[in-house]
Amino acid sequence: MKKINRTNRSQSLRILLSTRQICHKTVSTHDRLTDKEFRHKRDDVFCNFRNYPSTTLFAYSNDLSSDTVLQSWNFIFQFGSYSYWFGSVRFDIENINIQFDTNIANATSTIQNNLPDPNQGFQNSSVGSNVFDVIEKFFSNTQAPVCGSTIFILLKRYPNEADISRLVSLIRSHHSIVHVKASAAPSGGSQPKTMYSVSSKTNGMGLIENDDHFGNFFGWFSPSENPFPVYATTIQVSGSGTKTLPDFHPLISDGCSISITYQDHVPDDSLQNITLRWTNPGDSGNFLVNSSDISTYHIGGKYLGGSADFMGVNYKMALDYNYLGQDVQNLQIRIYSNFPLTNNWLPYSD
């Protein structure tokens, strides 16, 4: 178990593996809008920030294995869900059909009946993914509410599109979040960083992982348990140094999940260590990861996850980093909670 260093309080940070016990909250029917209200508001881009995520969309490439899809789905919802609607869709096929259910059990059956079929997929690696079409179709659906939704994308084939401006504008206008899990061994497509950029600009996480850990990754992915972002920043660094980050303003004392992606490309060994630090006159702490921790706790992936308790006070934030070489590294730094912000939507990070 990995400990967090604290200067004024004795609290701990643990690396998130398959078991997490913080930030649990039972969602009652009073925490959600009614079905009638949802239907009335599904085209409303001014939905209430206290009643999201209304819908979770699970989108998966036809080029993945059935086991990977099912394992990912089961891990994402191992702790239940705050959503009222569940969309599922298989893409990288000619005809995209998003299906919606109102409980996890029915959604599981829907996915089990729509698993990847190699005979229906694109047969040429030069053909890019049609994941853009999936997102646009989701936001134009007339069945489930989309404002404040969360989208999980399992990407095996990269898109060929590089311009994301229109897509990001669409997602942001509906206060939605996109998380992308991309394969380090794509089946096709030409733009490996496109969907990472989409996730960066929508307060989500973009991850590029080896296929052998593709499915079970969601067992320790923080937003699977704590869906509400309360802090998000995206930065670039190179070499070694310290980066001052935007302040963190938690509104309540809360146990939260820390999530960091430290590269936006196929895994390499350039990261030596990284430390996220937060300071306040009454409370300080840090999240430290060394290169040895990556293989031990994170199975060599690009995602770092931990947990920490924060007081309802303002924190100064900083990142110490040490990479081999001078290549520019893109990082996503997020803090997630089981409690949404109570005063407004979290601003999007560019």
pLDDT tens track for 13-61: 333 322 233 333 333 323 334 444 444 344 446 676 665 668 999 999 9
Q: How far apart are CA 148 and CA 257, in angstroms?
A: 20
CATH classification for the domain delimited by 38-219, as one of 3.40.50.410, 3.90.1300.10, 3.40.50.300, 3.30.360.10: 3.40.50.410
Tell me how far apart the alpha carbons of residues 192 and 133 are, in angstroms, rounded to a whole number.
Answer: 17
Query: What is the spatial distance between Cα 268 and Cα 300, in angstroms, rounded to a whole number?
Result: 9
**Burial class for 328, CB neighbours closer than 10 Å (0-12, 13-18, 19+):** exposed
- Confidence (pLDDT) at 125: 97
Distance, CA of 248 to CA of 270 (rounded, Å): 28
pLDDT for the residue numbered 51: 59
Query: Strands 55-61 and 85-91: what pairing?
Result: parallel
d(CA 102, CA 109): 12
CATH topology of domain 1-17+224-341: Jelly Rolls (2.60.120)
Tokens of 324: 């081999």
The Cα–Cα gap between 336 and 106 comes to 27
Question: What stretch of H or E contains 112?
Answer: helix 104-112
Tokens of 145: 């509410």
Domain ranges for the chain: 1-17+224-341, 38-219
The pLDDT of residue 239 is: 97
State which H helix or E strand residue 291 sits in. Answer: helix 291-297
Q: Which residue stretches of 140-290 are H helix?
A: 165-173, 194-200, 222-225
At residue 276, the 3 state secondary structure works out as: strand
Tell me which amino acid residue 332 is.
Q
Low-confidence residues in the chain, pLDDT < 70: 1-46, 48-53, 79-80, 215-217, 219-220, 222, 224, 295-301
**pLDDT tens, position by position, 185-230:** 999 999 999 999 999 999 999 988 877 777 666 766 767 678 889 9
Task: Tell me whether domains 1-17+224-341 and 38-219 share a fold.
Answer: no
Q: How far apart are CA 154 and CA 140, in angstroms?
A: 21
